Homo-oligomer: A and B are copies of this chain.
Amino acid sequence: MRYGFLGPETTFTHQALLQALEVMPREFTDTVEQVPFAAVATATTDLLAGEIDALIAPIENSVEGGVSGTLDVLAATDSITIVAEQIVQVTFVLAARAETALDDLRVVSSHPHAQAQVQGWLRENVPGANVATASSTAAAARDLASMSSEEAHGRAAVCSPLAAAHFGLTVLAEQIEDNSGAQTRFVLVTREGRIPARTGADKTTLVVQLPHNRSGALLETLEMFSSNGVNLSRIESRPIGDFLGRYSFSIDAEGHIEDRRVAASLRALHRICPVVHFLGSYPRIDGQAPEPREEFADATYDQAHAWIEKLTAMVTPASEVEGAGTGSPAAVDARPEPDA
């Protein structure tokens, strides 16, 4: 199995892939090859071409919002399915070659983006060190790892815990980001053809395009979920690209397509929206199972369905009513006219 990820190695996406592999059934992880990519679009092309079997990509960050690159590729690609999600805590460590007192650090290197997120901590805890720029947090760690011991003395890198571990560095301080709690959510994507079985704690991802000839279309769309007791855990607007003010919506709904309430919502969307793109039903990483009210339980839908089946079976075919059973057209002709 070949798994693509947004590289280089030890990125947060890489970490998401490792997390995903840990919880997969053994058959999917026996002979794993991890393939770094520079962009989701490229990885998707390779996925569709069969070069890789799956890819993992960030979809949402708690600070930055939806990841447009991933959302737009998912929305535009027809034959792929999300089969799992992962959440990675965005956190940084200060790592050196060996245990070092913070006061002894002279240079701390990192990528500017990471520097911005830890600058408060550095100012307070390592005020004497210079901040050097690396091309990535992974590169900062790798470079430090490849130095001679003398050269590395007094130096540290700001990087992900994964990078520190991967390059054999010693962690001097953890969780040094100024605002803790940032998270990124990732999705594992395969070629279409298989939807993971319902676990009871699932999520369904869709992209819907609203009918643009009616105001209130978003309201109407949301009502379809609401009237079937389906909560949305994410809704994001993305421009369709043709006119200002034309959006598609990327939606995560709670539940699995095998849940009757989810299937009913999707059927309703399919009726009213010009485009409904089903991107997958897959287990929630947090394992939280919704507890639908009785009116939204599978059995309730099934009973309603059976009731209508029973009633519909009682409908007399038109031919019988018209007297066709006699085989005689005359029977029909002889019917008195309303005004006769």
Contact = CB atoms under 8 A, between A and B. Distances in A.
Interface stretch (A9-17, A97-105, A319-327): A319-327
Interface string A276-296: 001001000000000000011
Given A29-B336, A335-B25, A244 B304 contact: no
Interface stretch (A117-125, A133-141, A157-165, A232-240): A232-240
A237 B239 CA distance: 12
The 10 closest A-B pairs by CB, nearest first: A270-B304, A197-B318, A267-B304, A65-B239, A219-B222, A215-B231, A195-B315, A271-B295, A62-B244, A236-B237
A222 B328 CA distance: 45
Contacts of A318: 197-198
Contacts of A268: 227, 304
The bracket for how many chain A residues form the interface is 35 or more
27 contacts: A25-B332, A65-B238, A66-B237, A183-B243, A185-B244, A194-B314, A195-B311, A198-B315, A216-B222, A219-B222, A220-B227, A223-B227, A235-B237, A257-B308, A257-B312, A258-B312, A258-B315, A263-B312, A266-B311, A267-B304, A267-B307, A268-B304, A270-B307, A270-B308, A271-B295, A271-B296, A272-B295
B226 A219 contact: yes
Contacts of A226: 215-216, 219
A25 to B, nearest CB: 5
A241 interface: yes
Contacts of A68: 64-65
Q: Counting chain B CB atoms within 10 Å of each CB, which of A29, A272, A323 scores highest?
A: A272
Given A62-B242, A181-B242, A267-B308, 18 more contacts: A23-B336, A23-B338, A25-B321, A27-B326, A60-B239, A62-B239, A62-B244, A65-B238, A183-B243, A183-B244, A195-B316, A197-B320, A220-B227, A227-B227, A233-B245, A257-B315, A266-B304, A278-B311
A49 interface: no
